[in-house]
Amino acid sequence: MKRYSLIAYSHEKEILTFTASNYKRTIGKKGLSNVTLSDYFADCFNNTSTLFGLYKCWICVACLSVNKFSHGWGDKPKLCPTCGKPTYEVATFQARASHVGRAFQYACRYLLKESYGIKAELTGEKTPLYDLEIRPDVVVEAKGSPEFIVNPDKSKSSLGRAGMSRSDTEKKAFANANEWKRRFPKGHFFIVTNSLPVRMRAYKDEKVDGIFDITKKSQLDEFVAEANKLTAS
């Protein structure tokens, strides 16, 4: 199995900078715990939203058509407060999903290296089947996303279920695992996330070696122990 190099990613320098800063301020200062892990990833998500302008916002097209501007941050009201006609959410979901997913990958890689000495390579766009490679036969799918977003006016908007709690994310992760194990049946495929349904706790099968919510220190430690056991052999 071939090792891949990370393809250049827009604003990578900024992402690396705030990832390191967030780690230092949370885990680096207070140690590993459920609280500091959650804060670390939440800060990385918030910084990513700010960097790329991935806020929730709405606009009234009817007002815009007559050169008036009625818009706002957060969830859209049913009717425009200016003209009383329907409003529309500005479609930032697809961009948000891509950028926060990448931020989670960077955050995972930094966490593993700084806290456990595990070096994992980001796969970039070279393969769509997994995100981090610890060794050619030990790979990790990183599925993380925020539950809410903080808008410029400091309001919070819910983004629904996060990580592996989303049914579409779950399906994608398992599809990637199935395809990767079809190609490399002797390899080891892990999934890490920031939100995991109870029914998937301690899950493993012939395709997936384990799924871990790494905002929980006990599960993070379990994942690291599994990875170290495999790479030591």
pLDDT averaged over every residue in the chain: 92
Q: Is the pLDDT of residue 2 over 50?
A: no
| pLDDT at residue number 4 | 37
| pLDDT at residue number 185 | 95
Q: Is the pLDDT of residue 220 over 80?
A: yes
Nearest residue to 78 (alpha-carbon basis) of 89, 90, 87: 87
Write 77-86 long-range contacts (CB < 8 A, 24+): 85/60, 86/60, 86/62
Which tens digits make up the pLDDT trace of 26-49? 999 999 999 999 999 999 999 999
| pLDDT at residue number 5 | 42
Stretch (H or E) spanning 142: strand 138-143
Q: Are 50 and 99 in contact (CB under 8 A)?
A: no
pTM for the model stands at 0.89
Confidence of residue 6 (pLDDT cuts 50, 70, 90): very low
| pLDDT at residue number 127 | 82
Q: What is the domain partition of the chain in residue ranges?
A: 12-54+92-232, 57-89
Which tens digits make up the pLDDT trace of 112-167? 999 999 999 999 777 889 999 999 999 999 999 999 999 999 999 999 899 999 99
Which tens digits make up the pLDDT trace of 64-92? 999 999 999 999 999 999 999 999 999 77
| Angle (CA) 189 227 115, round 5° | 125
| pLDDT at residue number 70 | 96
Segment 50-71 shows an average pLDDT of 95
| pLDDT at residue number 9 | 61
